[in-house]
Amino acid sequence: MRVPVSWLAEFAQLPKGITPAQLHADLVKVGLEEEALHVPEISGPIVVGRVLEFVDEPQSNGKTIRWCQVDVGGETRGIVCGAHNFEVGDKVVVTLPGSVLPGPFPIAARSTYGHVSDGMIASERELGLGDEHSGILRLAELGLDPEVGTDALELLGLNDWAVEVNVTPDRGYELSIRGIAREYSHSTGAKFTDPATLPPSASGSPKAGRPEPTKDKSNPVPVKLLDESPIRGRQGCNSFVTRVVRGIDPTRPTPPWMASRLRLAGIRSISLAVDISNYVMIEMGQPLHAYDLDLIKGGITVRRASNGERITTLDDQDRELDPEDLLICDDAGPIGIAGVMGGARTENSSATRNVLVEAANFDPISIARSARRHRLPSEASRRFERGVDPEVAIPAAERAVQLLVELAGGTADSNVWQVGEPVATEEIELPAGFVNSVIGTEFTEDEVMSTLRALGARVEPSTNLGSGLVVEPPSWRPDLRDKADLAEEVVRIRGYDLIPAVLPTAPPGRGFTREQRLRKSAAQLLAASGAVEVLAYPFLSREQLDLFEPGVEACELLNPLDWSSRYLRTSLLPGLIEIARRNLSRGLVDLKLFELGSVYLPATGGKPLAISLPAGNSKPSDAELAELESAIPNQPLRIAGLFLGDSILRQPGQKQVHAGIADAFEAVGQVVRAVGATAEFEAGSRDGLHPGRTAIVLVGGEEVGFTGELLPSLAAEQDLGPRVSVFELDLAKLIAIAPAEVVALPIGTLPAATQDLSLVVPVEVPAARVLQAVREGAGELLEDIRLVDDYRGEGLPSGTKSLTFALRFRAFDRTLTATEATAAKMAGVASAEKLGAQLRE
């Protein structure tokens, strides 16, 4: 939120000569965050001048310049000007030598076109007032007739500065000069004047303050609120206020002081009617919309969109509407997406003479979803989705009408039309001593009451509690919902520095749980082997989900940050692929990545999640908690990795080694060993993986994941190169079936006996099953067994393969003889014969 200091000073009494640093510090005291400072990029001397005479001088390059004599207040300056849109007697803005224009662009007397130009006559763009650069700025076009020599910076509001603060999502009221001025008053005790308390209105009402809505039914544009599909039981529109101003002059310019303030607040000046609605929104926090009254067909209806309905918005984009979108419609169809953007059909133009001003109060959830769905973040939606004061609609509409009358020459209808009623805030019981009990302070009851009243709350003694208070929060604070919120507000306003600093006694540690320890060990092993841990976004598109699990049921977010990525992941691999693509595009071609995180599996059979929190501030019942728990997705912990490029880089005496499926197998083995288990691999298949280079990972006979190479076509489609290896393991399941305790075997000190074993087995028998059979048959003397060769070719019967294993035998109490080792080996062969294995001759 950008806050022009001159605007702030209208509603909060600022000390003379306040500095940006001091203003920022005062706002930070009440919880606002300092963001930036916006100071003028322009400096004087810049004055009002009058053109006394000029001579047109054609140049050899085909251009005609004007050699002007300009009165700048007591002296005449000769200035060369390339523009031709002015006449003798016009008052203009003259930048004298020594001034600096935005850019920066310093001005000095310089020789040009055969003259010494002693300054420059400036255009709107050169002054930073707008984009117009076809000619110089003539002050008469702005309705100004100042004295010659007047300081143009002050006249045009170019000497103002602004501070920028970050507003947290729960305090939408701070997205206004009204809200910031109130916060400054809380911080410093300065006098605050609420702009919602208006002087006598433009409609001629002698009564100051909020005008009363008209009670009769003669509204020229009748309004209906028809929300038949409220979200979470909340009506999309609670209150809809309209005012009518007739006979405005659309050619009148926006006054410089208003354009300057809007520019400092980060809003571009467009036209007078639009600028007035933006000005009131920034000032009072109430988004407004101005319709061309003559283009509205019949009355206005606020309703949800129908299937297939479309609208062309003010940015000239044709948009398909969603049935959740809340619309403003006339008898001919939609004329705006409520709280987000108006429609082009009723847009103000140079032909607009009569204006309908809308000031409504919309449901924050509806507006937030529509803005994200259509990717239309706007200043209006930014305020509505945080909550707008429902009581400020009528004063804001009155303020807009007042400015349209004063600046655009219109005439206001005396009626104030309101349909619906603002939602009232609910009372909160605040027990005596509660604030001190949770904050650790010693505030008196009078201090608590005075602080809450300063916030704008109504505070009365409680009759239900016997002691304590009943607090009705102000209408602009929808974030105050329970007693804890009130306690936070008391200490925020009184000062966080009053909270005593007490060092808590740390409880005795119990160390990591088994699951935490094993999870940490798995990640540390992969990192120690050179892999880099990454964190991917858990939100995926439908296309990303279908890479490895086509058509998989996934949890769909109702209010996603990005509508195209609205599904929660069911696999870690799509996120790793996206990270690999990003790194490859930045020149990092050798990657060894892994992620440890949760996936989200629907607990509702693929149906949309319907999780509704119980109403009120009481603790949910056991049944309600159980219902909520049953709707939460299952979130198992997984670990996945991706390998591409070179696993060993080329260097003197070392050839490069390409990363491949062996790296994925080794990573899987590291993870499984980290939890104290042993991995087995069986040939398998998986969508997205090479059918001949995919393995299912088994532990204790149960499937815990898979590993393999991406399909070459998929790798090429994702711009990842020809060979990419991946793995994904269900770490939660792996930890659950792993041994509860890892038994460390003693280190053998006696000599080992080594032998090789070659078995001929049918091609379809997995090597892992043969290895396991040999291990079981050989017994406890077998210390280690490894597959060292898989031969398929000449010399073997058709449909068979030869598997060669390296065996290591050892006894802990004696030196094994060759006979004992051979006997153990043959026992393993006998066990493998059950799988059709035969000893290779």
pLDDT in tens, 112-125: 888 999 999 988 88
Do 243 and 401 meet the contact criterion of CB atoms below 8 Å apart?
A: yes
Distance CA 399, CA 203 (A): 10
Q: What is the 3-state secondary structure (H, E, C) of 160-192?
A: CCEEEEECCCCCHHHCCHHHHHHHHHHHHCCCE
Distance CA 67, CA 228 (A): 69
Q: How confident is the model at residue 232 (pLDDT cuts 50, 70, 90)?
A: low
Residue 280's region, left for phi above 0, alpha for psi from -120 to 50, else beta, is alpha
Closest CA to 697 of 719, 671, 716: 671
Predicted confidence at residue 200, as pLDDT, reads 41
- DSSP category for residue 410: -
**Residue 633 burial (C-beta neighbours within 10 Å; 0-12, 13-18, 19+):** middle
Residue 144: pLDDT above 90? no
Q: How many CB atoms lie within 10 A of CB 67?
A: 17
DSSP three-state, residue 610: coil
Q: How many CB atoms lie within 10 A of CB 676?
A: 16
Closest CA to 760 of 834, 840, 841: 840
What is the dihedral sign for C-alpha 281, 283, 286, 292?
negative
Give the list of residues 6+ apart from residue 600 with CB closer than 8 angstroms, or none. Answer: 538, 554, 555, 568, 569, 570, 633, 634, 635
Distance CA 202, CA 413 (A): 9
Q: How confident is the model at residue 205 (pLDDT cuts 50, 70, 90)?
A: very low
Residue 202: pLDDT above 50? no
- DSSP category for residue 654: B
DSSP three-state, residue 52: strand
Residue 210: pLDDT above 70? no
Q: How confident is the model at residue 190 (pLDDT cuts 50, 70, 90)?
A: very high
For strand 64-71 and strand 76-81, is the pairing parallel, antiparallel, or unpaired? Answer: antiparallel
For strand 800-809 and strand 64-71, is the pairing parallel, antiparallel, or unpaired? Answer: unpaired
Give 44-100 pLDDT, tens digit per residue: 799 999 999 999 989 888 889 999 999 998 899 999 998 888 999 999 999 999 999
Distance CA 510, CA 434 (A): 33
Give 447-477 pLDDT, tens digit per residue: 999 999 998 899 988 877 677 889 999 999 9
Predicted confidence at residue 611, as pLDDT, reads 54
Predicted confidence at residue 841, as pLDDT, reads 78
Predicted confidence at residue 297, as pLDDT, reads 92
For strand 532-533 and strand 591-598, is the pairing parallel, antiparallel, or unpaired? Answer: parallel
Q: The tokens of 574 are what?
A: 């799509």
- DSSP category for residue 419: E
Do 659 and 646 meet the contact criterion of CB atoms below 8 Å apart?
A: yes
DSSP three-state, residue 154: helix
Q: At what angle do helices 272-284 and 177-188 cross, to 10 degrees?
A: 30
Q: What amino acid occupies position 351?
A: A
Predicted confidence at residue 761, as pLDDT, reads 94
Distance CA 122, CA 48 (A): 11
Do 305 and 321 meet the contact criterion of CB atoms below 8 Å apart?
A: yes
Q: At what angle do helices 514-528 and 661-674 cross, to 10 degrees?
A: 150
Predicted confidence at residue 204, as pLDDT, reads 36
Give me the phi and psi of 435, to 5 degrees please.
-60, -50
Predicted confidence at residue 33, as pLDDT, reads 87
Predicted confidence at residue 284, as pLDDT, reads 93
For strand 680-683 and strand 689-699, is the pairing parallel, antiparallel, or unpaired? Answer: antiparallel
Output b/e per residue, 557-595; b: 16+ Cβ within 10 A: beebeeeebbbbbbbbbbbbbebbeebbeeeeebbbbbb
Do 649 and 590 meet the contact criterion of CB atoms below 8 Å apart?
A: yes
Q: The tokens of 431 are what?
A: 């027990």
Q: The tokens of 486 are what?
A: 């009130």
Q: What percent of the chain has pLDDT over 90?
A: 42
Give me the phi and psi of 402, to 5 degrees please.
-60, -45
Predicted confidence at residue 676, as pLDDT, reads 87
Predicted confidence at residue 216, as pLDDT, reads 55
DSSP three-state, residue 732: helix
Give me the phi and psi of 487, to 5 degrees please.
-60, -40
Average pLDDT over residues 412-439: 88
Distance CA 609, CA 632 (A): 8
Distance CA 527, CA 676 (A): 18
**Residue 539 burial (C-beta neighbours within 10 Å; 0-12, 13-18, 19+):** middle
Q: How confident is the model at residue 177 (pLDDT cuts 50, 70, 90)?
A: very high
Q: What is the 3-state secondary structure (H, E, C) of 774-804?
A: HHHHHHHHEEEEEEEEEECCCCCCCCEEEEE
Predicted confidence at residue 616, as pLDDT, reads 53
Distance CA 358, CA 273 (A): 13
Give 285-343 pLDDT, tens digit per residue: 999 999 999 999 989 999 999 988 999 998 889 999 998 899 999 999 999 999 999 99
Average pLDDT over residues 786-798: 89
Q: The tokens of 351 are what?
A: 């032909």
Distance CA 816, CA 809 (A): 8
Predicted confidence at residue 203, as pLDDT, reads 36
Closest CA to 340 of 384, 296, 299, 300: 384
Give me the phi and psi of 473, to 5 degrees please.
-60, 155
Q: Which H or E run contains 225?
A: strand 223-226
Q: The tokens of 102 are what?
A: 């935005």
- DSSP category for residue 744: P
Tell me the pLDDT of the chain averaged across its residues. 87
| CA geometry: angle 691, 696, 702, nearest 5 deg | 155
* Most confident stretch, 614-628, 732-746, 756-770: 756-770
Q: Would you say how long the chain is, in residues?
A: 841
Distance of CA 341 to the CA centre of its chain: 19
**Residue 463 burial (C-beta neighbours within 10 Å; 0-12, 13-18, 19+):** exposed
Give 502-526 pLDDT, tens digit per residue: 887 877 777 888 899 999 999 999 9
- DSSP category for residue 538: S
pTM of the model: 0.67
Q: How confident is the model at residue 653 (pLDDT cuts 50, 70, 90)?
A: confident
